[in-house]
Amino acid sequence: MDRELALEIVRVTEVAALASSRWMGRGKKNEADQAATSAMRAMFDSVNITGTVVIGEGEMDEAPMLYIGEMVGTGQGPEVDVAVDPLEGTNIVAKGLNNALAVVAISDRGNLLHAPDMYMEKIAVGPRAAGLIHIDDPIPRTLEIVARANRKRIQDCTVMILERERHNQIIEAVRRTGARVRLFSDGDVGAAIATCFEDTGIDLYIGIGGAPEGVISAAAIKALGGEMQGRLVPGNQEEYDRCVKMGLKDPRQILFMNDMVKGEDAIFAATGVTDGELLRGVRFVGNDRAETHSLVMRARTKTVRWIKALHSIPNKPHLVME
């Protein structure tokens, strides 16, 4: 993939963030998601890729655009897999809470796991603990490893966990070690990749969340030199059979980084919709202008760019604002 694609992909996440940000705090998550999806899909038409959506808004009969299997891009560039979450954190935006993102990951054709829309057990750490953890290790052992790698005491480590009833035992197990717990309500892509940035103070991400979000997170973590492991959690026979059709002989096998994101290259981009640990949200600064904060990275070069942009809303042809 050409390195120029990284900046092109940021344009896609920027417009999705701008579109959905108008709905912040208005209690309408579906409208926010649709605004992000429509803007992102329109912007993809200007990107020089021959892209196939492998993780998107749903199956062809479930989503009008950015559905799994849809072709995106001009058709004039490299053949790539595309994973999108136009609005990661629809409830977050509806309630005006933190950590909503617009995210896109791309990789060479055939290199992204076509993760079905089901649950996945996940664990993620930053570069210092990469190669040292295992998803089946007990939580006390994992925290000992992570604390040692990050040169901290266990009680100084912070673990990100999605606030759900299914995680009560995990939360209690972490608390018993003396480590700190930070719960979050939605949006586990940002939570997972926060482990790779020292200034977030997050040492470990663990829990069960969406499988598509797991693959998108893995693309970012691969570029950052961290590690993520996962395991699909089929909820019924239909989901189990779908895993088998994907080529997983054992749907409960451990998925390592190279299972989720093959090869040496992947590009990940995210733009903040609301404020979070990684990125500031969209700010409307007057005179029909808005400011965005984005992050883009490439696995091959390990380059990480932070991009602050000022947009003139009337000059955004792909952006329909109320």
pLDDT in tens, 233-274: 998 998 888 888 877 888 889 999 999 999 989 999 999 999
Alpha helices in 1-61 (DSSP H): 5-21, 29-44
> Which pairs with CB-CB distance under 8 Å and at least 24 residues apart come from 32-35?
32/87, 32/90, 32/93, 32/94, 33/86, 33/87, 33/90, 35/320
Whole-number pLDDT of residue 61: 67
Comparing C-alpha atoms, which of 248, 208, 261, 252 is closest to residue 54? Answer: 261
Binding-site sequence positions? 33, 57, 85, 88-90, 119, 164-166, 186-188, 210, 213
Binding site for substrate, by residue number, is 88-90, 119, 164-166, 186-188, 210
With respect to CATH, is domain 4-109+265-315 assigned 3.40.50.2300? Answer: no
The reported pLDDT for the residue numbered 299 is: 92
**Predicted confidence band of residue 320 (pLDDT cuts 50, 70, 90):** low
Binding residues for Mn(2+): 33, 57, 85, 88, 213
Tens of pLDDT along 18-64? 999 999 999 999 999 999 999 999 999 999 999 999 999 887 667 78
pLDDT number for residue 232: 95
Residue 322 is predicted with a pLDDT of 54
Q: Does residue 159 surpass a pLDDT of 80?
A: yes
Q: Residue 152 has what DSSP assignment? A: -
**Predicted pLDDT at 168:** 98
pLDDT tens by residue, 168-197: 999 999 999 999 999 999 889 999 999 999
Show me where the domains of the chain are located: 4-109+265-315, 119-260
Domain covering 119-260 in this structure, CATH number: 3.40.190.90
pLDDT at 272: 97
Backbone angles phi, psi at 110, to 5 degrees: 90, 0
Q: What is the pTM of this model?
A: 0.94
- The answer to whether 85 and 40 have CB atoms below 8 angstroms apart is no
pLDDT band at 1 (very low <50, low <70, confident <90, very high): confident
> Which pLDDT score is estimated for 321?
56
Helix, strand, or coil here: 9?
Answer: helix
Q: Is 301 exposed, middle or buried (0-12, 13-18, 19+ CB in 10 A)?
A: exposed
The pLDDT tens digits for 68-99 are 999 999 999 999 999 999 999 999 999 999 99
Per the structure block, which two tokens stand in for 149? 């790698």
**Distance between CA 105 and CA 221 in Å, rounded?**
11
> β-pairing, 289-298 with 283-286?
antiparallel
To the nearest whole number, what is the mean pLDDT of the chain? 93
C-alpha span between 97 and 24 (Å, rounded)? 8
